[in-house]
Amino acid sequence: MPELPEMETYRRLLHEQICGAVITSTAVQREKTINLPPAQFGQLLQNNRLTLIERRGKHLLFHLQSGHVLLLHLMLGGFLYLGTAEDKLARTAQVTVFLGERVLYFHGLRLGYLHLLTPDQIDEKLAPLGPEPLNPEFTLTHFEKLLEEKRGVLKTAMVDQHWIAGIGNCYSDEICFHARILPTRRIPELTAPERATLYHSMQEVLAEAIRFGGYMEQPLYRTDELTGGFDERCQVYDRGGEPCLRCGQPIVKDELSSRKVFFCTHCQQ
């Protein structure tokens, strides 16, 4: 599932490529992906200009000149492709948005959604989300206060979008590996130095993942050389049984609350 770095990569690239463009038409292949009848959805989008593209947690927000906002959550398996009517992938797009000659294809939205909402509806929808971990206001002191509220397992807390927004399976494991802390540790057991280390690892890992374009394999557009660059830099995620890049011991793959979890029992404590 795309996480904060993947969605932030999309936001930055889409801002460069299509911010300011006018939506000329839409096509909906799967009605359950949107929240309005396709005809109404298309009517409200047609001739509307994209004025701003934002990210909140794992969501993308496409702000429109009309004041409406397209809220995207890719969930599991979703991804975007920006091309033309001829330059497209050999698979069905659940929603297609035409921007003149450019076309934005929304793929894999069997579980995800693209909803057209008012500003008030957006505020209500996103209100339960926790703080953004890379926001300058999210300080070590703030993080320590959040930790005091939790009594469960570290990984379970880190993927809770109501606690901190944007971190999922991949980056929770990568952050814990960077901090040399087992993701299976219980939060009350963490020492003050470990909590500080965890905070700084969160900042470093997420910033690096954004810098290298996240781990998504599919480029956003044909000449996109950024998206997916972090995939080969993952230290533990999806590397079960492979040697740890830090100590050489096998990476452990386990399951925690129905989620995959990867760690090194030699490097992490």
Same domain as 57, residue 108: yes
For position 90, what pLDDT does the model report? Answer: 95
pLDDT tens digits along 171-190? 999 999 999 999 999 999 99
* Number of domains into which the chain is organized: 2
- 73 Rama sector, left if φ>0, alpha if ψ -120 to 50, beta otherwise: beta
Of residues 149 and 134, the one with the higher pLDDT is 134
Same domain as 122, residue 63: yes
How many other C-beta atoms lie within 10 A of the C-beta of residue 77? 13
Q: State the CATH number of the domain containing residue 64.
A: 3.20.190.10
- Among the candidates 126, 160, 180, a domain finishes at 126
Q: Is pLDDT at 1 greater than 90 in this prediction? A: no
Beta pairing partners, 262: 253
- 91 Rama sector, left if φ>0, alpha if ψ -120 to 50, beta otherwise: beta
Residue 135: pLDDT band with limits 50, 70, 90: very high
d(CA 186, CA 93): 42
Same domain as 253, residue 154: yes
**Enzyme catalytic residues:** 2-3, 58, 259
How many other C-beta atoms lie within 10 A of the C-beta of residue 141? 8
Residue 123: pLDDT band with limits 50, 70, 90: very high
d(CA 80, CA 203): 26
For position 66, what pLDDT does the model report? Answer: 98
Q: What percent of the chain has pLDDT over 70?
A: 100
268 belongs to a structural domain: no
